[in-house]
Chain A
Amino acid sequence: MKILKILKNVTINSIAWLIGLLWILPLMGILFASIRPYEEIIDGWWHFENFHFTLENFFKAWNHESFPIRIGFINSFIVAIPSTILPLIIGSLTGYGFARFKFPLRDYFFLFIVLFFAVPFQSIAIPVFRILQTSKLLDTYIGLILVHSSWGIPFATLFMRNFFLTIPIQFEEAAKLDGASDFKIFYKIALPLSLPAMASFSVIQFTWVWSDFFFALLYILSPEKYLATQCLPLLKGLYHTPWDLLSAASVLLMSIPLIIYVLFQKYFIRGMAGWAIKG
């Protein structure tokens, strides 16, 4: 009986680790491709008879003559940081309003805003292009930041509202009796208590904006302004696929979200699951 149990345990563990191994193969492949010369990986990165370590691919992608990832990185940060802060502030305000103020049709308004969370980008792409064009914000970071911020507001509102609802209301009521204004109660009492929720939203929103390709492709048109994700498809040659460049650029591009995920794993998962599972 005991042997049977051990056997079963060993089987389950081996299956699980086999799955893990299978799952990591594509990532390992791209990682090995990025640190080896092109000729060594073009017939399969899993051949190790001939192994030469090199950082050449990274330098080539980082300082690419037409679409340097180095510039893309800077541009992506310029867009992603304000695009995280702006909806965080605005969404916190709105979320607080929905959590604490009473007014007619409140829940319907809330539902309406949150529904936008699921609307595909495609549904607004053309009119937003025209709006940016007429307001001279097309091909500017301010334009892109405004689009990303607006897009982040429904999620921020939903996330912050749900967190504010979990905070006991007594503190705020006491402050109200002392004559504090709504706004003062919001930023002196509610906001400091909601730092974990703000962290979760920020981590997800930053990763989201960093990873965005669609909006950047549509609204940033000058090559020198291209974001990191825009550079990636352009490194692809017309007739052959330079996997040395592409793999290094891929590793660079995913490194930022991966670092964020490793550093803020708890907040990251909570943010992801936040809208899927309560609490």
Chain B
Amino acid sequence: MGITKVFFFLPAVILLSIFLIYPLFQTIYLSFTSPNGQFIGINNYINILSRKEVLNLENFPIPPLGALIHNLLWTCIHLPLSIFLGLIFAVLLRNVKGGTIIKSIIFTGMVIPLIVGGLLIRFSFESGPGIVPAFFQILGIKSLSKNWIAYPDTALFALILGSVWLWTGFNLVIYSAALVGIPKEIEEASMVDGANPIQRFFYIILPLLKPVTLTTTMATFIFELKTFDIVYISTRGGPGDASMTLALLMYFYAFRGLDYNSAATVAVFLTLLTLIPAFLMIRQYIKT
């Protein structure tokens, strides 16, 4: 390879080395050392797991349960819900007059800054201006007509449901694009064979969407793990750590507590969790 060809890569290599690669390894290093720079193996990791803000099963199943469990809950609720809704809406909106407008409405959640999204969630779940508590008041469900943000048993779920509202647009758009790619003939043939819409969905559409579902699942998973802005602006992880997430906890450790080693440990843990699906996704991407 000629010397001029090297110049195509040089700027990227320099910037990535300084601001991505070196810092990443530095963070990994920090996670294995004590504040005075001694190598202490996996002690930081063990130490983290014994902290209440990370893992706390005293009041199980009512939050605060620790950031680790909160992230797990977030994934268990948000992932299936946003994928399912995105898929159903994509199928439904194909034959609807003005479907593009509805799609754009749902996609808006992806366009607005997450910090605004977080504020919108708070606005919708706060009693008074919020429409969610008002809705449950009309239904006469007292336990859900309160200020969701202010109570430990509801704050986390308000954020999770709110983030479904924000993220479903992504899955909807991806599935819509994939559905366009399915030849009409396949569906028509199954109609002639007498398959009803539900059979068509499960036996024709769903199997054809399998590769795309891997993508939406991975992207959604990565989004969930990184959640920071939404929590920061709406609850700051409160009340009493009841909506704390790993990403926010890392920030508090590092930039409020100045405990860089614990923060780095949380960061490495988060990175590992995102790299596994990212690796799968990129492998599939390169294959196609």
Contact = CB atoms under 8 A, between A and B. Distances in A.
A24 B126 CA distance: 17
Interface string A1-43: 0000000010011011101100111110110010000000111
Interface stretch (B22-30, B35-43, B198-206): B22-30
Most buried by B among A9, A13, A123, A154: A123
B115 A24 contact: no
Given A127-B22, A182-B2, A218-B255, A115 B113 contact: no
B120 A23 contact: no
Q: Which range contains the number of A residues in contact with the other chain?
A: 35 or more
Nearest to A258: B111
A237 interface: no
B27 A126 contact: yes
B18 A150 contact: yes
Interface stretch (B6-14, B44-52, B76-84, B182-190): B6-14
A208 B286 CA distance: 24
A27 B107 CA distance: 12
B59 interface: no
A118 B4 contact: no
Contact of B112 (A113, A122, A181, A254): A254
Q: Which range contains the number of B residues in contact with the other chain?
A: 35 or more
Nearest to A118: B278
Nearest to B15: A150
B278 A122 contact: no
Given A123-B270, A276-B219, A27 B16 contact: no
Contacts of A229: 113, 115
Interface in B86-143: 89, 92-93, 95-99, 101-102, 104-106, 108, 110-116, 119-124, 126, 128-129, 131, 134
Nearest to A18: B102
A46 B7 CA distance: 59
B174 A276 contact: yes
A82 interface: no
B1 A120 contact: no
Interface string A97-121: 1000111000100010111111111
Enumerate the 7 nearest inter-chain pairs by beta-carbon distance, A residue then B residue, closest first.
A118-B278, A211-B113, A127-B23, A150-B19, A97-B8, A20-B102, A124-B23
Given A45-B129, A229-B113, 12 more contacts: A12-B95, A27-B108, A44-B134, A125-B250, A127-B30, A131-B22, A150-B18, A182-B4, A229-B115, A232-B233, A247-B123, A277-B178
